[in-house]
Amino acid sequence: MKNFKDLFSISRLKRRSFLKLACLSSLGIGAGPFLSLKGKTAQARSAQLFDSFMTDAEGNSYFTPGKINTGQVNDNNTVFARVDGWWRSYPVREFDSEFHDWWIAEKSWYYDQLIAFFQDETDELEIPNGGHHHPMLTTYGRTFFRRGDSDFHLNTAVKGFTLVPKVDQIEYINAQVADVYESGDIPVDLFQLRKDMYQDKTLWDKTRFATLELYSGRPINNDDTDGNYGFTETKTFQNLMVNPMATLNYMSLENTDGTQSYLDGVSGLTPHYQFKGFCWLISYYNPANTEYEIKIADYINGAHSGYHGGADDIATNIFLIVEQFNQTPSYSKGRGKRVVPAYTYDRVAGVGRSKPSGMVFKNRDKGKLTKVEKMEVIKKLRLSV
């Protein structure tokens, strides 16, 4: 079938069926993906079918996400994303000071352990994974959009996230780091510099975090001699290309001991913070990258390759914050409550709770409302006419 006109030549396709097909197409669902998968193997159900990798003039592969628009993120704190088949706008917000204090405290402890070891103050170096640097990112894709090794399109990945510099601070931070690499005592001076800079809250953009999609766009089996898997995408990457909405969960390495400034100084708590928002994927060689995207991609890649070596042209993933929740158990202000934007839970309707302010409801004992009462209800609801 080359076009819709050819469909009319099939006697079984009635007018109603065609209208259903047209309706699906207008809603952004379309029949193309379903038809294109017919006869495909499981391994062929890859990102190549929907958001293909392209090649620049130098032969470098790149991709362009099609379900998120970040053109107004930096100027108006607004992200546009296609969610459930519809384009919608979402405000981007800052994480709260309590999370920031916890993150800095755990990051500083991390650097203190490294500095003590490399200054021969201790012979032990035990840096656990998790905590401030390894939150869990959960993504959700589509049933017909997978790489073939799982029937599930819900995925959770533990990834190394970090804070993102404000755009006007990137050059300053890069210059400080370069100076240490040039004339400092590596790695002690570098660890101390990083610790000091993270403690300066004015340097960092509190609306986002960042990581790298280490294996996407590159064969994940570079060192595997047993054959080719048939795909180059992580499950996180595949999900985000069709649905950029995600959640990010941080849980502390240690319980509080009562000396902390966060969580009201209560001891015996496990700090746990959840963020809900969108992932902004940046393909390193995309010729359409903005100046901001280029700077952030270079910064995150440079920070990673400086510590770990390896490639410095990996796809970047910026997590944009829309909501923040305090998931800390056994804590009155935690237990899954939303803290950004602030939400007043003592006014939520429910068993044993009062009705939300401004809610109008019918008294069952009074029977039907009079005309005067109906007009009062309309006034309280402030309905537009």
Please, are residues 246 and 278 in contact by the beta-carbon 8 Å criterion? yes
Strands 162-165 and 204-213: antiparallel
- Closest by Cα among 250, 249, 206 to 77: 206
SS3 of residue 241 by DSSP: helix
> Mean pLDDT in runs of 10 for the chain (385 residues)?
40 41 38 37 45 80 92 97 93 98 96 95 89 96 73 92 96 95 94 97 98 75 53 86 96 95 96 98 95 96 88 94 97 96 75 41 55 65 45
pLDDT at 278: 98
**Dist CA 84 CA 254 (whole Å):** 38
Please, are residues 170 and 299 in contact by the beta-carbon 8 Å criterion? yes
φ, ψ of residue 220 to 5 degrees: the values are: -75, -5
> Residue 29 has which token pair?
């669902």
pLDDT at 115: 96
Single-letter amino acid, residue 263 = L
**Dist CA 71 CA 121 (whole Å):** 49
* Cα separation values, 85 from 13, 26, 29, Å: 26, 10, 7
* Cα separation values, 158 from 134, 251, 273, 281, 326, Å: 6, 12, 15, 17, 19
pLDDT at 127: 84
Instruction: Specify the pTM.
Output: 0.78
**Dist CA 292 CA 3 (whole Å):** 41
**Complete domains list, the chain, with CATH:** 90-340 (2.30.110.10), 353-381 (no CATH)
pLDDT, tens digit, 9 for 90 and up, residues 224-271: 545 556 667 889 998 999 999 999 999 999 999 999 999 999 999 999
pLDDT, tens digit, 9 for 90 and up, residues 273-298: 999 999 999 999 999 999 999 999 99
φ, ψ of residue 235 to 5 degrees: the values are: -70, -35
